[in-house]
């Protein structure tokens, strides 16, 4: 519901402000950079799902060489997912710095407000997912055995991560692609 409200805010503000503010502001967006950042986030859902598959077979950690990804466990897949999510957040921070340098800030115009609020709240949710991955990985590393409860926790975290990714695909489409 929260993200539905953010989309409603985006499209309502866009309709009220008219195309001139939107055209001027969207020209500042680095779409190729954002597309790469988006691709990394979407692919992190794939690595997350491989971690779920490992959790479902109760394989907490790798059973062979780190270079042999066929033998990776949940911790390795979730670690890679974490790194990809951190890359995404770093990319967002870089993009914010570039846009601020170009004059698009939270207070510069309606587009800036909507852009930073929508993408910022999404970034907070991604950060929450990263914290959840850390908690799962720490709990699993401290456990003597990998249990059904830990596998279930990993699966629930993956649901959250997939949701955050789907929301970003919609946000990316609305903000970066729909002119």
**Do 112 and 102 form a contact (C-beta atoms < 8 A)?**
no
Residue 143 corresponds to which tokens in the numbers above?
Answer: 């456990």
- This prediction has a pTM of 0.91
**Residue 133: is it exposed, middle or buried by C-beta count within 10 angstroms (0-12/13-18/19+)?**
buried
Domains and CATH numbers, the chain: 20-177 (1.20.120.80)
What number of CA atoms fall less than 13 Å from residue 90's CA on the CB side?
8
Relative orientation angle of helices 2-17 and 19-26, to the nearest 10 degrees: 110
Among residues 40, 6, 36, 34, the alpha carbon closest in space to that of 95 is found at 34
How does pLDDT run along the chain (179 residues), one tens digit per residue?
888 898 898 888 888 877 777 778 888 999 999 999 999 999 999 999 999 999 999 998 888 888 888 889 999 999 999 999 999 999 999 999 999 999 999 998 888 999 999 999 999 999 999 999 999 999 998 888 888 999 999 999 999 999 999 999 999 999 999 87
Rg (CA), the chain: 19
């Amino acid at each position: 519901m929260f993200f539905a409200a953010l989309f409603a805010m985006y499209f309502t503000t866009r309709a009220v402000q008219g195309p001139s503010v939107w055209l001027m502001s969207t020209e500042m967006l680095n779409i190729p950079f954002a597309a790469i950042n988006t691709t990394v986030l979407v692919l992190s859902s794939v690595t997350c799902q491989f971690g779920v598959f490992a959790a479902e077979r109760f394989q907490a950690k790798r059973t062979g060489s780190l270079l042999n990804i066929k033998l990776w466990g949940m911790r390795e897949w979730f670690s890679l997912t974490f790194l990809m999510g951190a890359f995404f957040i770093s990319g967002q921070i870089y993009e914010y710095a570039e846009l601020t340098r170009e004059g698009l800030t939270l207070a510069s115009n309606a587009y800036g407000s909507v852009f930073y609020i929508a993408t910022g709240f999404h970034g907070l949710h991604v950060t929450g997912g990263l914290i959840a991955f850390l908690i799962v990985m720490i709990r699993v590393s401290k456990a003597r055995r990998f249990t059904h409860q830990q596998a279930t926790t990993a699966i629930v975290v993956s649901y959250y991560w997939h949701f955050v990714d789907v929301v970003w695909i919609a946000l990316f489409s609305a903000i970066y692609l729909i002119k």
